[in-house]
Structure 1
Amino acid sequence: MSDIQPTAAPVREEEVARLAAAIDLKDPGTILRFGAAAQSRAQAAADAMLEGAQNRETGEAGQTLSSMLTALRGFDVTNLAEKPGFFQRLFNKAGSEATAIVQRYEGVRDQVQVIGDKLDQHRTKLLEDVERLERLYTATLDWFHALADHIAAGERVLKHTDSVVIPALEAAALDAGDPLAPQALRDGRAARDELERRVHDLRLTRQVAMQALPSIRLIQENDKALSAKIQSVLANTVPLWSQQLAQALAIHRMREAGQAVKAATDLTNKLLVANAETLRTGNAEARRELERGTFDMEAIKQANAALVGTIEDSLRIADEARVQRRTAEAELAKCEQDIRRALSAAKAREQAAPPARG
């Protein structure tokens, strides 16, 4: 009987001795009940894993991040760089247009704030799910140790049966003094084989527990990664976004003030018919101010593109996490089918084997 003992589950001697003492080969009920309580925890673990794999919180968080990305893409800072034409300045329409621009971008800022609140709620739920998975991991680990204790106890009884009990029954069967000794030998061998089958079944269950442990950690790590990304968005992206919006609006207002000053200066120059050198100097200064404004807007556009890239990374990670969970579900289902197929094959061999002769 080859079996790889995991180093992560040390056998507790006192518990193993207690479990071994509870096995009575003369009482088939003790063999049938042996490890049944530990195996019954497999369904609870499977249900908890399925609940974690089907957790919709990650998907909702990804949708919220998509809404954030849509809002960011709707913020086009190039509009703030547009300068009103000569006739707009002449008929004083620039003021109303600027007011509409400011209102629209303030609405975008409010929308980003609402989405940020939703992301914070998702992060709280993800952290709660991480704690729940941690409790599930601890319970699964205890379940794994309990199965290991039962396996060790069963192997101990099997070893004692093979080395002591069966030889004693064989010796008694050879003695013609007891006519029931051969039947007792047959019953002992049958009980021993039944116990061996129970131990093998417990090994299969322990394998399920062993596979559940990394699966739980995988889901937990995905939730923690998404929670950390949301925290980064709330702590970095949203404040930078608000700062960028404030800077864009401030630059827009400064440009409006500069344009008003420039319009008044130009009108004064035309009325006073200033000399050409003064006009040239004023025009050069105005052009430098305009070129300076264009340079600042390019920097803001690059920063906005970087922020959009950050959100797209978040969406990609959320999509990968969703694919990993679906892959984990498929793998769990395949393992369950493999175990059922192995158990069915073992049962078929047992039925096909001829009965042992007493």
Structure 2
Amino acid sequence: MTKQLTLADLAGGNSAVTSPSLTASDDPAAGAVVPTADQAKAEAALTPDEQIAKLPPADQQQIAQLAGNIDLTRDGIESSYGKDVQRATSTFADEILSETRSKDTGEAGDLLATMLTTIDEAELGGFRKIPIIGQVAVSIDKLRRRYQKVDAQIDEIITKLEKAQAKLVADIAMYNTMYDQNAQQYRSLKLTVLAGKKALADFNANQLPALEAEAAKSGDAMQAQVLKDFKSKLDRFAKRLDDLDRVSVVTLQTAPQIKIIQNADQTIVDKIDTTISTTIPVWKSQMVIALGLSNQRAALDLQNKADDVTNKLLTRNAEALHRGAVDAEKANQRSVIEIDTLEKINSELIATLRETVQIQKEGKANREAAQVKMRQIESDLKAALIDNAQQL
């Protein structure tokens, strides 16, 4: 049974009670349907108990345990509550920032571009273009030597691409871990906030009315001051819960950001796979065909070779280059971040800013109204004290 507090308890203070550390596992928002504006408004209007009732039994039990260990009379609780969870969130955000800063995803893209340029500039079709004279046949020996040189360059680039790909695959796995950790941080923050709201609501409903009645009954101005200071402390605790709730929103926004980075890495990994498994074998097979056709042309008239073989090779090479260039350009022109994603994030941020301003306005209006009421209370109390003194 909860001990009923007195004003003497508030004035004297109590021993500190620490909250147990959270052991988050699943994201409480996982699988949730995105609410409409009206649904979100209705959700925000729910009491802490109503919000908690929607959670799984295990979460309800953990929140009850956390709330039961919260001592609102403890010195400094209004600034220290949830600090461990908040500090862990900050550390996690620093880790993400550090990984992003040290990341060099451009290396793989540069290697792919170098490979395409090397193939394009190799002029391995069996003909080379000379100004004024036009196109002349390249001897089979020169063609073979050029192929061997370019082939060695391609093999070197492939080796580097495979190393870059392995690093990207490791990064993708790391981002999966970071995503899970972010979900744990989000759940810990939400449970911490709900536990604080429940403890505050229970205190306001069960303990605060008795303290107010005691202060009114005593008629002591100092007792009234003690109660006023404690109410200010409760208000600061509520503000602390609001800060933690805002941090949880930032944590929630971090999840899609992690996935965006991860998906960009996966796109590059897929492009490397396509290049190594498809583009290069096709290019080498075409080169074998080119070498074979060059041997065949040696027994034919130079003009016939220029008319027949040149058209075939140029057509095939042009088609291959066309397909490669179109596919590469389509892949490069595709936006990593969809415009719908940007619009949604932007609308959410705008809504957050607007709601924050509205809450600040309401808080200011409430404080101004409270100031008027408190001055009236002081005036009435002083008048009563003077009248009482005059009647003695």
- Shorter-chain TM range is 0.7 to 0.9
Specify the alignment match of 1:307 in structure 2.
Answer: 324
For 2:208 and 2:97, the matched residues in 1 are separated by: 45
Specify the alignment match of 2:23 in structure 1.
Answer: none
Q: Deviations over 1:316-345 (max 9, x none)?
A: 45xx44999xx99x98xx99x969x97xx7
C-alpha contact (below 8 Å) 1:140/1:213 kept by paired residues = yes
Q: Does 1:236 align with 2:278?
A: yes
With CA pairs under 8 Å and 6+ residues apart, which has the higher RCO, 1 or 2? 1
Larger deviation, residues 16-25 vs 46-55: 46-55
Specify the alignment match of 1:189 in structure 2.
Answer: 231
For 2:236 and 2:75, the matched residues in 1 are separated by: 9
Q: Structure 2 residue aligned with 1:296, among 294, 304, 312?
A: 312
Amino acid in the other structure paired with 1:296: K
SS class of match (1:12): helix
For 1:186 and 1:163, the matched residues in 2 are separated by: 17
Specify the alignment match of 1:282 in structure 2.
Answer: none
- Shift of residue 2, structure 1, vs aligned partner: 3.4
Q: Does 1:14 align with 2:61?
A: yes
SS class of match (1:54): helix
Q: Deviations over 1:219-238 (max 9, x none)?
A: 11111111111111111111
Q: How many residues align?
A: 312
SS class of match (1:75): coil
C-alpha contact (below 8 Å) 1:161/1:192 kept by paired residues = no
Structure 1 residues 291 and 246: CA distance shift in structure 2, 3 A: same
Q: Percent identity?
A: 24
Q: Does 1:214 align with 2:256?
A: yes
Q: Structure 1 or 2: larger helix share?
A: 1
For 2:150 and 2:249, the matched residues in 1 are separated by: 53
For normalisation by structure 1, the TM-score amounts to 0.72
C-alpha contact (below 8 Å) 2:161/2:272 kept by paired residues = yes
Specify the alignment match of 1:33 in structure 2.
Answer: 80
Matches within 5 A, 1:242-261: 242-256=284-298, 258-259=299-300
User: Considering only aligned residues, what root-mean-square deviation do their CA atoms show, in Å?
Assistant: 4.1
Structure 1 residues 57 and 231: CA distance shift in structure 2, 3 A: farther
SS class of match (2:73): coil
Q: Deviations over 1:175-199 (max 9, x none)?
A: 2388864344324312221210111
Amino acid in the other structure paired with 1:189: K
C-alpha contact (below 8 Å) 2:67/2:196 kept by paired residues = yes
Q: Structure 2 residue aligned with 1:66, among 106, 113, 120?
A: 113
For 1:40 and 1:48, the matched residues in 2 are separated by: 13
Specify the alignment match of 1:24 in structure 2.
Answer: 71
For 1:242 and 1:236, the matched residues in 2 are separated by: 10
Q: Deviations over 1:222-275 (max 9, x none)?
A: 11111111111111111111111122112112222x33xx79xxxxxxxxxxxx
For 1:304 and 1:2, the matched residues in 2 are separated by: 58
Specify the alignment match of 2:201 in structure 1.
Answer: 159
Q: Name which one, 1 or 2, has greater alpha-carbon Rg.
A: 1
Q: Does 1:57 align with 2:104?
A: yes
For normalisation by structure 2, the TM-score amounts to 0.67
